[in-house]
Structure formats: C-alpha cells, structure tokens
Amino acid sequence: MHAKATAAATAKTGGRVLLAPMDGVADFVLRAVLTRIGGFDLAVTEFVRVTTSVLPARTFLHTCPELANGSRTAAGTPVRVQLLGGDAACLADNAARQAELAPAGLDLNFGCPAPTVNRHDGGAVLLEDPDRLHRIASAVRAALPATVPLSAKMRLGVHDPARALDCAQALAAGGIDMLVVHARTRDEGYRPPAHWALLAPIGEALQIPVVANGEVWTLNDYHRCRAESGLADVMLGRGAVADPFLARRIAAWRSGGDCSEHWQAEWRELLPSIADYWHGVQARVQPKAAPGRIKQWLNSLTRSYGEAGVLHGALRRVTSVAEASAVLRAHGVPARDVLAETAASLH
C-alpha cells in the first residue's frame, strides 16, 4: 500500500500504545505508576545484559518483579522482558531460562545507543550486520515455546538509515512477532527530529506489526507520527515520563472521548502518583540513592508542569530520605505507602 494511503487508513484506526524500555528510568516502580494512570497496552522492561552465562531467575525477577504477578503490572498491563547482547547462543539459553518464568513475551535490544553498551557488543551497533540480527532472532525464537511472543527494538541504523529495511526484514525472517523502530540512527542519539517518514517503508514491507518510536511528547506529536509513518502503533518513552497523562489522553482519543484535560487539575491528580513513586523507590534502592531518583523524575516532569520545577528546586540540595519526604509533604505530596508494600513483597 502506498505510504499516503497507509497513513489515511491509520488515521481511522486506534492502534496500541506501548511503554518504552528506558534503562535507568522506566523501572518497576515507574512502570507501576504510569500504567496505573492508564493508557498503555504493553510495557517492556529495562534491558537485562546477557554476556557469557545463563543468568539466574533472580536476575530476571529483579528487573521484572511483574513476573510474580503473571507478567503484568499491578494495573494489569502485560510486560515483556528485554534482553541485550550479541551472542546468539547465550541469548537463546537465557531466553529459555526466562521462559520458565512465564513472561508475557521477550524483547531483543538492538536500539541502545550508549557507547559503553555498543563497545561491549550490544545494542544499536549490531545493526551493522543484518545477517547477525537474523541469527540472533532465529536462535532466540527456536529456544522459546511457541506461546511466548518475541519482539525486537531497533534504530534506523548506526551511521545512516541505508540498511534499516534490511535489518527489519532480517529480524522478521528470524521469527519476531513485532518490531519497534526508533526513528533515529545510533549516531543521532536523542537529538530531534525523529524521522517518522522513514518508518513507512518498513511498515509496508513487513507482515508483522511495526511500532513507531521517538520524539512523541504531545497528542499532536502522536498524530503527526502516525500520519508520517503510516503506523498505527506507537511506543512512548521520554514523552510519557515527562507527561504521565499522555497515554491516557491518547486512549481517550482512541475511544472517541474528551482528551483535553486541564494542566492544573492534572498536577493535583499527579501528586498521589508522585507519592507512590517516592515510596516505591525507597523500597527498591539504597537510601542514599533514593533522593536522586525522585529528582530525576521531577526534572523530566518540569517539561510539562511548572509545579514540578518548583518542587525539583526545593529538593536540589536534599540528600536524605527524611529531608526529601519532608519537602514533598510541604509541597502537597501525600504520605502514602501502598506501592512500597507492593514493591517490598515482590523484591
């Protein structure tokens, strides 16, 4: 189908919204908070690094505590576990081990642009060799029960998008059931713009769902991404962290409801979720690291909420859990521990 015709058809369909696997950001606690707010059909974990050995079950459970809950968040959103590495046989062995925990699916990381990851034979650097992508996908698919879905996430390439379609077709031929494509090359990192139009040929060529990813911060971005890519499904990353209500507004649009919510009302609604996140963080990380995690999320929220900037500023020099809790309460964040109890029970 021609790209313009595909885009027109896409505009009339709902499509799915997925939560991206953001290393060091979208961990178990934030996944729980964002999926409780709503709008997500599927989430993917931070990557589990696979090198030369078969990892114990506790490693997968640490990254994805949702495995103890039917591989779903507390809100019921399915979660796929992401593996990162370049050794096809070792990835396959770890996939088989992971399958014993009954995941909602596995995902392969061919998109991480981090230099350290790429230097150690992982992430986007593997896009230099489509044949290797095929070998990895084929080995992992063969190691998994047919009932366990296998997806992959890639970028448009390392230096340029010339071989993006070759990479996508290699992965599809290897047996993946869904492909997420971040619409930038590795070298472009996260610098705007995202090249959504370059995803259209991939969507047209593959017989599996292709998901657009990259630079979707607003409902308008979501519509433009779908129109330019011709793809129905979209994965939200930093946009969902900066605006936790984005996926819910998209869901409202998909169902024909009102998606124009007031920012001030949203900030008030967000305060209990910030409390949940704060208490969940305390249950998951060392006390000395906890203040840094809440500051990290608040810094992202400043893109959408001026109030978050004020709160972030008040926490700037805070280094202890007790001080941070006091500042949060002073700024209207309620004292809650529901998520902390959940995290502790799954830790």
* Residue 263: pLDDT over 70: no
Q: Within 13 Å of residue 42, how many CA atoms lie on the same side as its CB?
A: 21
| Greater model confidence, 205 or 341 | 205
Q: Which of 112, 167, 225, 259 is catalytic?
A: 112
- pLDDT at position 257: 76
Domain boundaries, given as residue ranges, for the chain: 3-254, 263-346
Rg from Cα positions in the chain: 20
Neighbours of 223 (CB within 10 A): 15
Q: In sequence order, which ranges of the chain are alpha helices (DSSP H)? A: 3-11, 28-37, 57-63, 88-99, 115-119, 130-143, 164-173, 200-205, 219-229, 238-242, 246-254, 263-284, 290-301, 306-315, 321-330, 338-346
**Any known ligand binding at 182?**
yes
**Any known ligand binding at 105?**
no
* Residue 319: pLDDT over 70: yes
d(CA 60, CA 32): 17
* Residue 5: pLDDT over 70: no
79 phi/psi in degrees, rounded to 5? -125, 125
The tens digit of pLDDT for each residue in 242-254 reads: 999 999 999 999 9
Report pTM. 0.92
Compute the average pLDDT of residues 93-109. Answer: 98
| Greater model confidence, 80 or 11 | 80
- pLDDT at position 27: 96
Residues in the chain: 347
Q: Within 13 Å of residue 58, how many CA atoms lie on the same side as its CB?
A: 1
263-346 topology per CATH: Bacteriocin As-48; Chain A (1.20.225)
CATH architecture of 3-254: Alpha-Beta Barrel (3.20)
- pLDDT at position 338: 42
* Residue 184: pLDDT over 60: yes
**Any known ligand binding at 15?**
no
Cβ atoms of residues 28 and 75 within 8 Å: no
- Given the structure tokens 């129109």, which residue do they identify? 227
263-346 and 3-254 share a CATH fold: no
Compute the average pLDDT of residues 279-293. Answer: 95
Residue 112 annotated to the active site: yes
The tens digit of pLDDT for each residue in 164-182 reads: 999 999 999 999 999 999 9
Compute the average pLDDT of residues 229-234. Answer: 98
**Any known ligand binding at 82?**
yes
Burial of 259 (0-12, 13-18, 19+ CB in 10 A): middle
What residues have CB less than 8 Å from 95, skipping those under 6 apart? 83, 106, 140, 143, 144, 150
Percentage of the residues of the chain whose pLDDT score is greater than 70: 91
- pLDDT at position 262: 59
